[in-house]
Structure 1
Amino acid sequence: MLTVCVTSGKGGVGKTTVSVNLGIAIARAGRRVLLLDGDLGLANINVMLDVRPKYNIQDIVTGRRTLEQVITPTTYGIDLLAGATGIAELADLREPERQSLIRGLAGLRGYDVLIIDTGAGIGDNVIRFVLASDEILLVTTPHPTSLTDAYGTIKSILANESRSIKLIVNSVSSIKDARSAAERLVGVTDKFLDGSLECIGYIPSDGLIEKSIMQRKPHIVINPSSSSAQKIQEIAMRLIGKQAADSKKGFSRFLQRMFG
């Protein structure tokens, strides 16, 4: 199983929208995808997909439900492991709760790709998800404050471990803006940090994306011919082109790294 962590330096850059639409694009390529709402305590993927999960990740943490009972199928070819909206305790799991979660997740089988949509910023649970994953996708926009926060996140990740991070520049008005933003971040990362940053794509600014969010329907489903949807599709194909063949080993490695 390929584990992909989608994160960002700040909120409002489209991280969750990217996670959802990437997941659907990968599923359409024939992979079985599980989307984990890793924004513990402030989950919202279920809202974007317009699904109402009966149970969520808190039920695994507390041992009330099994993983199979908590996973929610969707009509878009992906399954959802929902987070727990408004439950503050999940935003900073203690060690007994982490151990309960690992026991619950240990039975996960049958998926090719696990996509984790983290909370924004550099909290402890975010860093744990990031460092445990095979692939790290950092979402930013060309806005200066977004780039500053993205660089802060890169520094925090690479201070823990030298890794390869993949960059997605979202909401760009032109290819020139996308390249400029990417080159700035790649340049300072190469110069000052122990790790690497690679831009694997950009997504044009598109009013249809905001409309799809308001309609609670994935953009790539209702606007598949749009330029932004096509760019998401391209990023998805680049991502799964490097998928590890040994899925059991991949998820086992993720659990070991996530929970130590």
Structure 2
Amino acid sequence: MDQAQKLRELFSKPSHSKSRVITVTGAKGGIGKTCIAVNISLALKKLGYNTLLIDADIGFSNVEIELGTISKYTLYDLLYNKKKIIDIINEGPLGLKYITSGGDFDFLKSDMDFDIFLNNIRILDFYSDFIIIDTGAGINSTVQKFINAADEVLVIITPEPTSIMDAYLLIKNLLAKKNTVINIIVNKAKNYNEYKEVFNRFNSVVSHFLGIKINDFGFLLEDGRISECIKAQIPILIKYQNSNISKDIMEIAMKISKTEVKYKQDGLMGIFKKIFKR
């Protein structure tokens, strides 16, 4: 059985266009970025979309921890152990497909055969409706490359002043000079009023000083069950699927799925071409 046939079996149906790739990021750790990336990916899967989650936090396995799974093979094996793309696609809850980075290595300085790598990546673009990339915490060189290459970014902020300031600097330094679509989720809000206050204040500053538009993609309330689910290694969308926060996650996923894409979609392969400037 060839690689394409295996992919057809992995994903319910081939996508008719290139994948919509969304990079999930935040300017600091501890803001719930990976939790949101995991649960939104699961929500998109529940809505019937072929969804692939990529953990781009090199050297760590936070996506696996949140999903409660263990990868057989990783991106490291694709680059260094002659595995094919089909080998490194793992399956999590609800049949969500995901790829983890694996070993602690410098992805940007890999001595891989870039053409072989691209040929592997190209296949994914036509079998996924959505590809969600979860970047590492903070702004290291690898995170910067993924953000700079992105056509659409989901920036996670919290009401904490340091989170807001760091997110502003991230947008100013990495996104303001590009035509990147910037969507904002306010996480860990105490209530609706705090969420609106945080977003409106952030939007005003970004608009005034940077002259760019950001999109309001909603909010998630502070919820102690999140920590419980992370410890149990069960996503909240699975463990508490009827909770208000799970319903809010589903609403965000529906908003993502219904948002009209007005930019040229280069897919995952286009992003990696930008990262390596090929």
Query: How high is the TM-score relative to the length of structure 2?
Result: 0.85
Show structure 1 runs of 5+ residues with no match.
none
CA distance in 2, matches of 1:146, 1:20: 20
Partner SS state of residue 5, structure 1: strand
1:55 aligns with 2:73: yes
Query: Which of 89, 94, 98 is matched with 1:80 structurally?
Result: 98
CA distance in 1, matches of 2:232, 2:199: 31
CA distance in 1, matches of 2:233, 2:219: 23
1:102 aligns with 2:118: yes
The share of aligned pairs that are identical, in percent, is: 29
Show structure 2 runs of 5+ residues with no match.
1-18
CA distance in 2, matches of 1:167, 1:20: 16
Q: Residue deviations 1:1-51, cap 9 Å, x none?
A: 110110001000000000000001000111011100011122311111111
Distance 1:249 1:152, change over 3 A: closer
Query: Is 1:2–1:134's contact at 8 Å kept on the other side of the alignment?
Result: no
CA distance in 2, matches of 1:140, 1:98: 37
In the alignment, which residue of structure 2 is the partner of 1:138? 155
1:1-260 to structure 2, matched below 5 A, reads: 1-84=19-102, 87=104, 89-90=105-106, 93-94=108-109, 96-97=111-112, 99=114, 101-108=117-124, 109-242=126-259, 250-260=267-277
Distance 1:224 1:189, change over 3 A: same
1:132, CA displacement in angstroms? 2.9
CA distance in 1, matches of 2:64, 2:120: 20
Q: Which amino acid aligns with 1:202?
A: F
Distance 1:98 1:133, change over 3 A: farther
Query: Is 2:157–2:164's contact at 8 Å kept on the other side of the alignment?
Result: yes
Q: Which amino acid aligns with 1:118?
A: T
CA distance in 2, matches of 1:242, 1:253: 21
Q: Residue deviations 1:98-145, cap 9 Å, x none?
A: 836434323324111100000122223212222333321000110111
**Of 153-162 and 213-222, the range deviating more from structure 2:** 153-162
CA distance in 1, matches of 2:187, 2:239: 19
Query: Is 2:66–2:230's contact at 8 Å kept on the other side of the alignment?
Result: yes
Partner SS state of residue 106, structure 1: helix
Query: How high is the TM-score relative to the length of structure 1?
Result: 0.90
Q: Which amino acid aligns with 2:55?
A: D
Query: Is 2:155–2:182's contact at 8 Å kept on the other side of the alignment?
Result: yes
1:84, CA displacement in angstroms? 1.8
Aligned length: 257
Q: Which amino acid aligns with 1:147?
A: I
Query: Is 1:158–1:193's contact at 8 Å kept on the other side of the alignment?
Result: no
Partner SS state of residue 41, structure 1: coil
Q: Residue deviations 1:190-212, cap 9 Å, x none?
A: 11114321221000111111111
**Runs of 4+ off more than 6 Å:** none
Query: Is 2:151–2:181's contact at 8 Å kept on the other side of the alignment?
Result: no
